[in-house]
Amino acid sequence: MSIHRYGFVDYDLTAFLLSHVRPGSTVVDVGAHIGYYTMLASALVGPAGKVWSFEPTPSTLSVLRRNVDRLPNALVVPAAVWSKREELVFHDHGLGYSAYNSAFRARLPDAVRERVPSVPFTVDAVSLDEHVRAEGIDVDFVKIDAESAEAHVLEGMRDLLARRRPVISLEVGDLDVPGAPSSRELVDTLMTAGYEPWELRRGTPVPHRPRTHYVYQNLLFAPAGQWHADNTRRPDHHA
C-alpha cells in the first residue's frame, strides 16, 4: 500500500539509504520480504557492490526472486537469519500479512491476529557470522527487520560486530511478544558492542537517547566515534 500510494516504504530509512549508501558497498538485507530495500540497495551500490538478501517464507520468496532475478549484484538466500544454523518453525499469515511471518507470535493487534491465517512451516536458519565467513564478505551496512528475532540475529553476528563493524539499521517496537526481549535490551546489546544509537529525522541521523519503551521505528547504530552530530560519516568503506 505504501509503495502504491507514495512510491516508497518508510520515508526516513529510504531517504537515509539514498543519501548515504555509495557505489561499491556491500549491503545485507535481513528480512527482505518482497525486496523493496534489496532493489533500492542494488541500485545504490552499483555493479561494483553487492546485496545479500535473506528471506525464509516460500510464498514471499517467490515474489522476491521475481523482483531480484534481473539484478546481477543482488543474491537471494532462502533462509532465516538466526543465532546459529538450525531448522525453525515459522508461521505464514498469507501474502497480505506476510510482513508479519515469524518464528514468534505475529506483531499484530489481537483482533487482527485472530482473523488472519497462521500456517506453520519449517525453514532453514543461518547466522550472519557463518554466512560471512563462508562467502568471504566485507559487510558495510546491515538492515535488520526480523519480526521479533532481532536478538537472535545480533547473537549470530557477534564476530561481524566486533571485526568488520558495519552500520546497522534495526527495527524496534515493543508489542510484548512472548519470548522476545524488549527493544531497550536490543539497544543495550549494540551499545555494549561499542555502537552508538542514532534516530532518523527526515532521513538525517541524530543522536538517540535510549528509552525504556519503544513504538515502531528504525534506529541506526554506528561504531562509537564514527559519526558526529553535525557531520555524520557515510556507512560504507568509501567514506
pLDDT(110) > 50: yes
| Over residues 71-91, mean pLDDT | 96
For residue 95, what are the CA distances in angstroms to 34, 59, 68?
10, 7, 18
pLDDT(231) > 90: no
pLDDT(238) > 70: no
Question: What integer pLDDT is reported at residue 135 of this predicted model?
Answer: 96
Interval 20-33: pLDDT, tens: 999 999 999 999 99
Are the CB atoms for 222 and 193 separated by under 8 Å? no
As a whole number, the mean pLDDT across the chain is 92
For residue 19, what are the CA distances in angstroms to 85, 173, 175?
35, 25, 31
Domain boundaries along the sequence of the chain: 2-223
- Non-local (6+) Cβ contacts of 140 within 8 A are 21, 25, 26, 27, 166, 167, 235, 236, 237
Question: What integer pLDDT is reported at residue 230 of this predicted model?
Answer: 64
- Could you tell me how many residues make up the chain? 239
* Domain 2-223, CATH homologous superfamily name and number: Vaccinia Virus protein VP39 (3.40.50.150)
Interval 131-150: pLDDT, tens: 999 999 999 999 999 988 99
